[in-house]
Amino acid sequence: MNRPVPDRAPVLYAISATCVAIGVLLWVRGRDIPPPRRYADYLAADSYTPSAWRVWSQAVPQERLGWYLVAAGLVLAVATRLFSARRD
């Protein structure tokens, strides 16, 4: 009895989107943005407070780790698209 092969493409696309979203957040967090100077800017930035907490090691800055995650997410999405199209 042959069962149909489950379609894993939606799961892989979700993983890809998660990698890209976390990568963009790390990239934004890793950028050195000066704190706002006017009160209206504080409202827009939602009380910007820089954090000393590191997500990764000191050897890889958060900005670069963010780019790595964005690239990994895009590669995973393209690979999923190619393999799912090839399987059909």
Res 73: pLDDT: 95
**What pTM did the predictor assign?**
0.67
What is the domain partition of the chain in residue ranges? 9-87
State residue 62's pLDDT score.
Answer: 80
pLDDT averaged per 10 residues, the chain (length 88): 66 93 86 62 53 68 87 93 78
> CB neighbours (10 Å) of residue 27?
19
CA-to-CA separations, 59 to 11, 32, 72, in angstroms, rounded: 31, 17, 19
Confidence at residue 43, expressed as pLDDT on a 0 to 100 scale: 54
**What pLDDT score was predicted for residue 52?**
63
Q: Which residue type, as a one-letter code, is found at position 1?
A: M
